[in-house]
Amino acid sequence: MSIPHGRNPPAAVPFNRHWNAPGEAEAVAEALRSGHLCGDGPFTRRCQERLAALLDGTPTLLTPSGTAALELAALLLGERPGSVVVPSFTFPSTASAFALRGLTLRFADAEPATACVSAQTIAAAAAPDTVGVCLVHYAGIACDMEPILALVRARGWWLVEDAAHALGGAYRGRPLGTFGDLAAFSFHETKNASCGEGGALAVGRRALLARAEILREKGTDRSRFFRGEVDKYGWQELGSSYLLAEVLAAVLSAQLAAFAAIQERRRAVWLRYAQALAGWAREQGIALPQPPPWAQPAWHAFWMVFPDLAARSAFISHMRARGIIAPFHYQALHVSPLGQRLGGCRGQCPVAERLSDCLVRLPLFAGISETQVQLVIDAALAFRA
């Protein structure tokens, strides 16, 4: 099978490539044959059970994307007007889900060592009208949750974990995605477990589960009807459609069945990069990720922070010339075009701005070969900042 590519020649080492889990194609065929193609069929149930098992029993609902899970979280929690604190260094969905609900955004800066927000940066961004926080466990490495939970409880805020990177990660042994009132997971193609596009909402605050089911089912109590709990269903609330089609749930069920193997492979590659590049990175003034003592990483991303934008651009070109795709992300949201229209300005979140200019990720996916890992390491070691 060839590596998908657009007008560029195929990369020797793409940044990411979907890995076909054992039984994935058979599960898709079974879903197609079953005649049950819409959401909430047997494959959805299987995925939700597997996710709950990874999340200490927290109930989960599959959604069409991580973005949809965040939007469902915002529908559930965002009734009280005010502002929400979100990281500046994140994907736009973390913020837009809440802004779409009418909440004002307040951008929190990142900690340089983890690229995550902290209790200090959240408190600095909050305002008297703040009603909630949505944090991101960047790259699957936990935010420091104890001080954050203490802050959130003291102020009476709700908490959402954007756990798009974090399935399989933990904070002091407790799974990420079990700390917030709600947590959003992503199964986008680039994530550790993937079905192309997909997501899940974990409902930590159990009292929200019944309403979550209703809002996800177009505002109706159809889920209760299908379980035989009511004899007809009707329009109960303003909701939307946030179900994942069964064919995609079939892919995800195979991925989740192989999750331990996926994590083991990603961990091995991550640790290999860390070990092989440590001396070179020190010499070149490049920072590598250092998981803090509280974090058991989810091994979602291996990243490096270059001394400046010019060095990062030179590294990306150097790798591309050797057929290796090493991309950067994210544009700090407060200085994005929309962020600036919302009042964001340079200097407001200096760490996020620096990460935005200087961070690069290396290829990391379950199917990466030993030869490809070595190509990445050799190419990086040949670079001089």
Positions touching ligand PLP (CB under 6 A) are 65-67, 90-91, 93-94, 136, 162, 164-165, 186, 188, 199
Query: Of the two residues 89 and 157, which places its CB atom closer to ligand PLP in the complex?
Result: 89
Cβ at position 64, least distance to ligand PLP in Å: 8
SS3 34: helix
Cβ at position 377, least distance to ligand PLP in Å: 25
Query: Of the two residues 185 and 322, which places its CB atom closer to ligand PLP in the complex?
Result: 185
- For 79, counting Cβ atoms within 10 Å of its Cβ (0-12 exposed, 13-18 middle, 19+ buried), the class is exposed
Max CA pair span of the chain: 70
Question: Which of 249, 190, 263, 269 has its CA nearest to residue 17?
Answer: 190
Cβ at position 116, least distance to ligand PLP in Å: 11
Query: Of the two residues 245 and 311, which places its CB atom closer to ligand PLP in the complex?
Result: 245
Cβ at position 94, least distance to ligand PLP in Å: 5
Cβ at position 184, least distance to ligand PLP in Å: 7
Query: Of the two residues 196 and 234, which places its CB atom closer to ligand PLP in the complex?
Result: 196
The strand order across the sheet containing 295-296 reads: 174-175, 170-171, 295-296
Query: Of the two residues 72 and 125, which places its CB atom closer to ligand PLP in the complex?
Result: 72
Query: Of the two residues 91 and 98, which places its CB atom closer to ligand PLP in the complex?
Result: 91
Query: Of the two residues 135 and 379, which places its CB atom closer to ligand PLP in the complex?
Result: 135
Q: Which two tokens stand for residue 87?
A: 């990281």
Cβ at position 164, least distance to ligand PLP in Å: 4
The residues near 298 (Cβ < 8 Å, ≥ 6 apart) are 137, 139, 140, 141, 165, 166, 167, 168, 169, 176, 192, 263
Cis omega (within 30 of 0) on the bond before 138? no
How far is C-alpha 369 from the geometric centre of its chain's CA atoms?
24
Q: Tell me how far apart the alpha carbons of residues 218 and 223 are, in angstroms, rounded to a whole number.
A: 11
- Cα 187 to Cα 27, 66, 67, 68, 163: the distances in Å are 17, 7, 10, 11, 11
Judge whether 27 and 43 are in contact, CB under 8 Å.
yes
H/E element, 210: helix 209-216
Cβ at position 190, least distance to ligand PLP in Å: 6
Cβ at position 138, least distance to ligand PLP in Å: 7
Question: Which of 37, 81, 56 has its CA nearest to residue 171?
Answer: 56
Q: Tell me how far apart the alpha carbons of residues 355 and 116 are, in angstroms, rounded to a whole number.
A: 11
Q: Which two tokens stand for residue 82?
A: 């005010």
Q: Which two tokens stand for residue 114?
A: 């983890």
Query: Of the two residues 136 and 159, which places its CB atom closer to ligand PLP in the complex?
Result: 136
DSSP state letter for 334: G
Query: Of the two residues 166 and 380, which places its CB atom closer to ligand PLP in the complex?
Result: 166
Number of Cβ within 10 Å of residue 190's Cβ equals 18
Q: Tell me how far apart the alpha carbons of residues 216 and 72 are, in angstroms, rounded to a whole number.
A: 7
Query: Of the two residues 68 and 277, which places its CB atom closer to ligand PLP in the complex?
Result: 68
Cβ at position 171, least distance to ligand PLP in Å: 17
Q: Which two tokens stand for residue 2?
A: 């060839």
Q: Which two tokens stand for residue 258?
A: 């192989």
Indicate the residue whose CB is closest to ligand PLP.
Answer: 66
Cβ at position 227, least distance to ligand PLP in Å: 27
